[in-house]
């Protein structure tokens, strides 16, 4: 387990257009000894749908959006860190290219991250 005082490395998000090389980039990153880049999770799309469809119910439990996003961020990080630890790695990357379409979702729930965007031109 990581100590509380040890800083967690920033995540990497791989976003881009279809057929632009995002899978190749994921595989390259995943071959790094410290970076885990698992299969596409599309995790945030599911969470976004829950938020959009059920916000009145969630708010009825006393949650505000900032607290909701903090909880989502914690769950999302735990999800990826668990996979990274299973791979023996300390940093994670998420390849869900269509996240580029949802940058408004509190910029990935305010994660401090790096984004890799690819563009394929003929």
pLDDT at 107 over 70: no
Query: What is the reported pLDDT for 111?
Result: 52
* C-alpha span between 21 and 24 (Å, rounded): 5
How do the domains of the chain map onto residue ranges? 12-118
Query: 41-100 pLDDT, tens per residue?
Result: 888 888 888 888 999 998 999 989 888 888 888 888 899 999 999 999 999 998 888 887
Q: Residue 69: in which H helix or E strand, if any?
A: helix 65-86
Class at the top of the CATH hierarchy for domain 12-118: alpha beta
Q: How confident is the model at residue 3 (pLDDT cuts 50, 70, 90)?
A: very low
Residue 11: count of CB within 10 angstroms of its CB: 21
Q: What is the pTM of this model?
A: 0.73
């Amino acid at each position: 387990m990581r100590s509380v005082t040890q800083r967690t490395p920033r995540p990497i998000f791989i976003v881009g257009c279809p057929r632009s090389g995002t899978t190749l980039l994921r595989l390259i990153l995943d071959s790094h000894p410290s970076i885990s880049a698992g299969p596409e999770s599309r995790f945030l799309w599911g969470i976004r749908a829950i938020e959009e469809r059920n916000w009145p119910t969630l708010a009825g439990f006393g949650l505000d959006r900032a607290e909701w996003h903090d909880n989502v961020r914690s769950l999302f990080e735990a999800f990826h860190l668990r996979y990274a630890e299973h791979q023996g790695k300390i940093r994670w990357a998420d390849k869900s290219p269509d996240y580029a379409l949802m940058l408004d979702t509190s910029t990935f729930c305010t994660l401090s991250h790096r984004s890799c965007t690819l563009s394929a031109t003929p």
